[in-house]
């Protein structure tokens, strides 16, 4: 059965009546298929180990459907669930809105500091305080214009009881130095098990700032671990360099737009944009160097090699998985529900240029299967979260909010 009316008529789109079932012809009961990537890679680089790229495909055998709840959001960037079951969404231009599970979109929440939304900037990732029920506190990442240029910043504030304002908003962290560019801000945020914040920052793309991903005196191209007040968290790894920033948790990142905690191991996983080829999924270890721009499985957009054109170097971590050509991985989440049992502990990743949702099956910290979902939607998927009802909710640059759940 395919009840996805979106592909049939414009009227159906306007009526938001789209649903798509996976109850399509499945001639492979085992769920295993050829690798989902069939395009030629940009490079002739060889993976460091078997299964690091182009792993065998998998196919969900359980019955599920996707529904468009709304398509009126304005370039949504981050999404998280509220205790009420509703969803809190950031929009790139600087707005934050509440959306009900029925798809009703609230008015912009006021009281948010101004963002510089030029280029890849804007109001980015967000997260509720673990004690939100009692303190109403929200944390978010945004691109901020300050003296000297733009920075990736973290702010916090309290959502008012009427859910219309952010009160007492304050910036608690800025990834310095500032730079007069508008690319590669990173921008995801989450809490670890100790109640500290993990935040991803980009290296700001340009050749002038790219080397700072390897510099421990710079906040660019990093994952930082900070307290709720924006200070370096206790227990951070010693970066071992005079002048090193104490908030640094890992380094050597390009443009990390996805963070998620594995529900079984408690380890941090990350998605990262590569250049032309070389998108990565990394298992983040405290104090580790993830190599950019010294090692990469990608090349410059011009086709030239990056640096020495090497993919491995001692002291630098290999990605668990990479893509070439790119899929542009953004927000991601591990599925912890039981409504679709075969998805348990699978990693779901939003794909921008690939225009689909990625499902990765992971065993013993290695990817053993990949699936592409909602690939016929023609949407740049920006973020995904699991709601309190156990369903997955995904947003797209085009303004759509999808609900994905069993039939």
**pLDDT of 380-391, one tens digit each?**
999 999 999 999
Selected catalytic residue, list 184, 253, 273, 356: 184
User: Which DSSP string corresponds to 170-195?
Assistant: EEEEEEEEEES--S-----EEE-TTS
- On whether the CB atoms of residues 39 and 85 are closer than 8 A, the answer is no
Task: Give residue-wise pLDDT tens across range 88-146.
Answer: 999 999 999 999 999 999 999 999 999 999 999 999 999 999 999 999 999 999 999 99
pLDDT reading at 247 higher than 90: yes
Helix, coil or strand: residue 315? coil
pLDDT reading at 216 higher than 80: yes
CA 388 – CA 82 distance, rounded (Å): 8
User: Which DSSP string corresponds to 219-252?
Assistant: -SSEEEEE-TTSSBPTTPPP--STT--TTEEEE-
CA 8 – CA 74 distance, rounded (Å): 24
Query: Taking residues 354-376, what's their average pLDDT?
Result: 98
CA 325 – CA 275 distance, rounded (Å): 10
Q: How high is the pLDDT of residue 269?
A: 99
CA 89 – CA 311 distance, rounded (Å): 37
In degrees, to the nearest 5, what angle opens at C-alpha 350 toward C-alphas 214 and 98? Answer: 110
How are beta strands 321-323 and 329-334 bridged, if at all? Answer: unpaired
Q: How high is the pLDDT of residue 32?
A: 81
Tokens of residue 171, six digits: 């910036």
Q: How high is the pLDDT of residue 238?
A: 78
What is the topology classification, in CATH, of domain 74-406? Neuraminidase (2.120.10)
For 110, which DSSP code? Answer: B
- On whether the CB atoms of residues 366 and 52 are closer than 8 A, the answer is no
Q: How high is the pLDDT of residue 243?
A: 78
pLDDT reading at 5 higher than 90: no
- On whether the CB atoms of residues 38 and 66 are closer than 8 A, the answer is no
User: Which DSSP string corresponds to 316-374?
Assistant: SPPPSEEESS---EEEEEE---SSSGGGTT-EEEEETTTTEEEEEEEETTEEEEEEEES
Q: How high is the pLDDT of residue 25?
A: 34
Strands lying side by side in the sheet with 321-323: 255-261, 268-273, 279-284, 321-323
Q: Cα dist. 401→79, 131, 396 in Å?
A: 10, 26, 7
- On whether the CB atoms of residues 48 and 318 are closer than 8 A, the answer is yes
pLDDT reading at 170 higher than 60: yes
Mean pLDDT of the chain: 93
pLDDT interval class at 7 (50, 70, 90): very low
Task: Give residue-wise pLDDT tens across range 263-297.
Answer: 999 999 999 999 999 999 999 999 999 999 999 99
pLDDT interval class at 239 (50, 70, 90): low
CA 245 – CA 230 distance, rounded (Å): 13
CA 403 – CA 406 distance, rounded (Å): 10
Query: Taking residues 169-198, what's their average pLDDT?
Result: 98
Q: How high is the pLDDT of residue 10?
A: 31
Q: Virtual CA dihedral for 115, 118, 119, 121, nearest 10 degrees?
A: 0
Task: Give residue-wise pLDDT tens across range 43-73.
Answer: 999 999 999 999 999 999 999 999 999 999 9
- Distance from the first to the final alpha carbon of the chain: 12
What whole-number percentage of the chain has pLDDT above 70? 91
Q: How high is the pLDDT of residue 82?
A: 97
Tokens of residue 380, six digits: 């740049």
pLDDT reading at 13 higher than 90: no
Query: Taking residues 140-162, what's their average pLDDT?
Result: 98
pLDDT reading at 27 higher than 80: no
Out of 8-22, 127-141, 176-190, 316-330, pick the least confident. 8-22
Reported as type and span, the H/E element at residue 14 is helix 10-14
262 is catalytic: no
In degrees, to the nearest 5, what angle opens at C-alpha 253 toward C-alphas 362 and 181? Answer: 135
Nearest alpha carbon to residue 95 among 403, 399, 384: 399
In degrees, to the nearest 5, what angle opens at C-alpha 154 toward C-alphas 218 and 291? Answer: 35
Task: Give residue-wise pLDDT tens across range 111-125.
Answer: 999 999 999 999 999
Helix, coil or strand: residue 65? strand
């Amino acid at each position: 059965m395919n009840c996805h009316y979106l592909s049939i008529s414009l009227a159906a789109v306007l009526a938001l009546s789209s649903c798509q079932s996976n109850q399509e012809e499945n001639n492979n009961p085992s769920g295993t298929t050829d690798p989902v990537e069939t395009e030629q890679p940009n490079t002739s680089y060889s993976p460091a180990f078997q299964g690091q790229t182009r792993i065998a495909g998998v196919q969900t055998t359980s019955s599920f459907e996707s529904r468009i709840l709304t398509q009126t959001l304005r370039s949504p960037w981050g999404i998280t669930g509220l205790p009420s079951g509703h969803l809190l969404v950031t929009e790139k231009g600087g707005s934050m809105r509440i959306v009900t599970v029925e798809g009703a979109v609230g008015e912009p929440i006021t009281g948010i500091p101004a963002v510089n939304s030029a280029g890849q900037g804007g109001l980015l990732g967000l997260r509720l305080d673990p004690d939100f029920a009692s303190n109403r506190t929200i944390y978010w990442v945004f691109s901020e214009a300050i003296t000297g240029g733009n920075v990736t910043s973290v702010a916090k504030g309290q959502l008012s009881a009427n859910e219309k304002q952010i009160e007492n908003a304050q910036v608690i962290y800025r990834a310095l130095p500032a730079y007069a560019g508008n690319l590669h801000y990173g921008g995801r945020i989450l809490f670890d098990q100790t109640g500290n914040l993990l935040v991803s920052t980009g290296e700001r793309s340009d050749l002038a700032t790219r080397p700072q991903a390897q510099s421990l005196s710079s906040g660019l191209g990093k994952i930082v671990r900070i307290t709720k007040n924006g200070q370096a968290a206790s227990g951070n790894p010693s970066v071992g360099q005079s002048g090193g920033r104490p908030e640094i948790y890992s380094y050597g990142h390009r443009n990390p737009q996805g963070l998620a905690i594995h529900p079984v191991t408690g380890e941090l996983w990350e998605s990262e944009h590569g250049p032309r080829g070389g998108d990565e999924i990394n298992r983040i270890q405290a104090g580790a160097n993830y190599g950019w721009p010294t090692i990469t499985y990608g090349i410059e957009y011009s086709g030239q090699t990056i640096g020495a054109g090497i993919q491995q170097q001692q002291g630098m971590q290999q990605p668990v998985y990479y893509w070439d050509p790119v899929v542009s991985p953004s927000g991601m989440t591990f599925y912890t529900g039981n409504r679709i049992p075969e998805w348990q502990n699978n990693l779901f990743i939003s794909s921008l240029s690939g225009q689909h949702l990625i499902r990765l099956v992971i065993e013993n910290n290695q990817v053993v299967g990949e699936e592409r979902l909602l690939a016929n939607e023609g949407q740049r998927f920006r973020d995904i979260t699991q709601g309190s009802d156990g369903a997955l909710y995904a947003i797209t640059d085009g303004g759509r909010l999808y609900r994905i759940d069993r039939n």
